[in-house]
Structure 1
Amino acid sequence: MSGKWMTMKNFSPRFAKLTIRHAILFLFLIIGVSSCLNSNEKQDPEEYMEIYYFMGYIDTSRPCEKDFDPSETVDKGTVSIGKEEYQLIKNYIAGLQNVESDKNSTYSMCLQCNMYDSSKDFETRLSVGQFGPMSLGDNFVERNDTLLYLLRKNAGFYNYYHLNDLPRYCKEVERFGVPENYQDMTAYFDTSNVLYAKIRILVE
């Protein structure tokens, strides 16, 4: 058979070695690129909180226990807190006692804290409004001002109230004082379209 097709007779061992070597190099190149792409993918940390809250005082009948759509929130990014403070928040939540309540939900001054722990496949939702008990999952639990202060402080909740109004709306501030990280943001937000802020809290 004429032509330039390569047959077993003219297929040299040297050419075979080069072909195999190129194939191996190409395989390592593919693995390396794949590893780089995977390392650059954004992955959720093992443990974190996501907090949603009203930006300022809003009198509404919207339930705080609901799932929030990204279109109705302003993403405030992430903030990191110390491991001891993070564990303190977890301990306070774990120690909350169930209470009886005739309230159906929490509304005004809503704050919702979702805690995630992928190592335990665990998620819990704490919701709190202006008055009355908090809700933890499907249960009402006692209101804990220390816990509420830690959540509101780290989430930036107080920034959407004038300094002079904080003791009026946030009773725990009378006990613990205005946080050092307080910044008056009341002149820089518009709740005509978006009512809620969202922030993720990580462990340092």
Structure 2
Amino acid sequence: MNSTPSSGSKSWFGAGLLAALAASLCCITPLLALVGGLGGAASAFSWLAPFRPYLVALTVAVLGFAWYRQLRPSPTADCCAVPKKKPLLQTTGFLGAVTGLAALLLALPYYDTLLYPSTPPFAQPGISSASARPTAPVWQTRMYRIGGMTCEACEQHVVREVQQVPGIAQVEVSYAQGTAQVSYDASRASSQQVEQAIAKTGYQVLNAH
């Protein structure tokens, strides 16, 4: 009795999808943290970032083999035999859907900025309630080295968290350089508050100057 060409293919479908998911976790978790307020969970999978090229290659190899198994010619069967209907998980359409989802996951770093919530405007220095007179700002700019950022989603997470500190004027974050440059009114905020805001994202402040 001959087995169908796609028997066991669903295992390859799942393996390819899992590999794609693993390759994208370092970018998915910061986005989830932004949308769902997961805080420190953003950096939970940053350790996967160096392995991303290998996971992408694994995804392509596994799904490529799954397509080969799916499309290879079937063994010659009895001309009178009635072809059996394939289960949904073994159909070409389902494999196509899995491949499309895997492609979306792998491409996440190239379009994830479109999924970010809109960035709220910076709070402007106001009037001291005690004196009812404008308080002259004391501007300072500090550079923070941050460990654990892997993509633009990480940048946006840090920016949004630091923006919540009163007196912040500007935040520029680079995941490639692992830095955050923050300008703030020292009469309303402190460097320690900025560091605490960065720490809430789950990334580590290595040093500040």
Q: State the TM-score, normalizing by the size of structure 2.
A: 0.24
Higher helix share: 2
Higher RCO (Cα < 8 Å, 6 or more apart): 1
**Structure of larger gyration radius:** 1
Structure in which a larger fraction of residues adopt strand: 1
Q: TM-score, normalised by structure 1?
A: 0.24
